[in-house]
Amino acid sequence: MTSARFLAGVALVAVLGIAAGVCPARPDEPTPVGRWTTVDDKTGKPSSVVRIREVDGKLEGTVESVVVAPGEDPDPKCTKCEGALKGRPIVGMTILWGLTRDGQRWSGGQILDPDEGSTYRCRVEPVDGGARLEVRGYLGISLFGRTQTWIRAR
């Protein structure tokens, strides 16, 4: 194969990858990958830290730590979860999985609410230059759900 044909092949693969949305984000684009402080909907106070990683082109989020009030169990369990997750520690639990890049958003995955033991469809989108992450959990269509704003943890 000549070098010109090789370079043309590489260029074609790059163009097809961009068209399919499978190329990684540009270095200057905000990303959901990193550590995020979750905020309790009712109190407005931090409730946990979740680390989001990209594994084989999909996002996966694991609880690194939880914020507990004095007198609360320092190692809370997922008492309302079903199946293999029932009674498992929340710290170390994967609560976000399967999201793939869709432009500036990541969608098509699921999120687990360990407080309720419920799993929802999910999409996430970095906002404010990546300082915040809008996390939308919903049933069926996005209209039937709620959005939380997570803050990038330092």
Q: Specify which residues 34 forms β-bridges with.
A: 52
Joined tokens for residue 20: 């399919």
Average of pLDDT values for 132-140? 94
Q: Specify which residues 49 forms β-bridges with.
A: 37, 65
Q: What is d(CA 142, CA 114) in angstroms, rounded to the nearest whole number?
A: 20
Q: What is the pLDDT of residues 65-77, one digit of tens each?
A: 999 989 999 999 9
What pLDDT shows up at residue 26?
59
Q: Which residues contact 154 (CB under 8 A, 6 or more apart)?
A: 35
Q: Which CATH class is domain 26-152?
A: mainly beta
Joined tokens for residue 117: 């033991």
Q: What is the pLDDT of residues 12-64, one digit of tens each?
A: 333 333 333 444 555 678 999 999 999 988 889 999 999 999 999 999 999 99
Q: Specify which residues 1 forms β-bridges with.
A: none
Q: What is the pLDDT of residues 82-123, one digit of tens each?
A: 999 999 999 999 999 999 999 999 999 999 999 999 999 999
What pLDDT shows up at residue 41?
84
Choice among 40-44, 82-86, 134-138, 149-153 with the minimum mean pLDDT: 40-44
Average of pLDDT values for 1-9? 40
CA proximity to 59, closest of 67, 72, 50, 68: 50
Average of pLDDT values for 120-141? 95
What pLDDT shows up at residue 143?
78
Q: What is the DSSP string of 29-68?
A: S--S-EEEEEE-TTT-SEEEEEEEEEETTEEEEEEEEE--
End-to-end CA distance of the chain: 49
What pTM was estimated for this model as a whole? 0.80
